[in-house]
Amino acid sequence: MPNTGKKKLIVIAGPTAVGKTALSVKLGLDLDTEIISADSRQFFRELNIGTAKPSTEELRQVVHHFINSHSIQQTYSAGDFERDVIKLLKAHFEHSDYMIMTGGSGFYIKAVLEGLDDLPAPAPGLREKLTDKLVAEGLDVLQKEIAAVDPGFAATSELSNPQRVIRALEVYYTTGTPISEYKLRNVKSRDFEPICIAVNRDRTELYNRIDKRIDIMLQDGLVDEVKSLVPYRSHQALQTVGYKEVFEFLDNKYDESEMIRLLKQNSRRYAKRQLTWFRHQGDFKWFDVEDYDNIRAYISTHLYA
């Protein structure tokens, strides 16, 4: 294949708990490069146990970007991430030919690879109003609300993402135009080329890993972490699997055993949605996460193409 001369961004995507971090660290060491985290909750310093951040040792082994880069007191959007990553890549590619980006937040990955529409800022107070409604009445109420005004958005997998539902409602109520009519704009021209890999493993094994991860999080103090985050409960990053179940437990909506059951069930469902998203978005080459030799060979084939 012809050599384009462009720098390469190696993208490692896949569902929660599949083993992306360990794979990316191994690749980072092999390739002597750095890692960008494309996980929309790992940005926040206050969210640790519930976000399964890389371990201290993994962070020591390979330089990671966008881990603990922001406070939960800040709002950090996919558009912000796109802007900051492009700036980082420009600087990094002055002295290196490639870099790794890994995570399960597909919309954030897509933002870096393709760019986002210049969507309008929400009307003052609208985001807070919608977030309060999400907390008080639940996601299903907002889903019905957006379905009534934007059936195009309601037909996508993003309907299960609270942050995306709120953003869609913001756009509609601010402009009167459904977000589905904005879409992603024509793919931006980038100064790099992506090598897109998605990883998976046997479903039973994946679900067992998810269940085990939840058990470890609870042992490590997930409930206490969530208690410390009560003042920031309305933040969109906390309206997600792994946190909302604990908040509802603290609200006495159900007992501990039901909380644990829901944490595991909802995490498995989230993994399924991630797999669906990556199969229908972008051009990912799929591998078993343990098939390191073939993953490495595939990257090597494309690295200087």
Q: Tens digit of pLDDT per residue, the chain (305 long)?
A: 445 578 999 999 999 999 999 999 999 999 999 999 999 999 999 999 999 999 999 999 999 999 999 999 988 888 899 999 999 999 999 999 999 999 998 889 988 998 877 777 788 889 889 988 988 898 999 999 999 998 888 877 678 888 889 989 998 898 888 887 775 445 678 999 999 999 999 999 999 999 999 999 999 999 999 999 999 988 878 988 999 999 999 999 999 999 999 999 999 999 998 998 898 877 899 999 999 999 999 999 999 76
CATH 3.30.70.20 fits 7-116+185-303, yes or no: no
Q: Using an 8 Å Cβ cutoff, are 100 and 36 in contact? A: yes
Query: What distance in Å separates the CA atoms of residue 234 and residue 128, rounded to the nearest whole number?
Result: 8
Q: Which residues of 258-274 are buried (b: 16+ CB within 10 A; e: fewer)?
A: ebbebbbbbbbebbebb
- Per CATH, the number for 126-181 is 1.10.20.140
Determine the residue type at 120: P
Angle ∠(139,164,175) on CA atoms, nearest 5: 105
Helix axes 20-31, 292-303, angle to 10 degrees: 50
pLDDT at 304: 78
CA distance 83 to 112: 8
Please list, in sequence order, all residues whose beta carbon lies within 8 angstroms of the beta carbon of residue 149, skipping any fewer than 6 positions away.
172, 178
- Distances from the Cα of 227 to the Cα of 11, 43, 47, 134, 264, angstroms: 34, 19, 12, 19, 20
Amino acid, res. 221: G
Prediction pTM value: 0.83
The amino acid at residue 54 is P
**Domains of the chain by residue range:** 7-116+185-303, 126-181
> At 216, which amino acid appears?
I
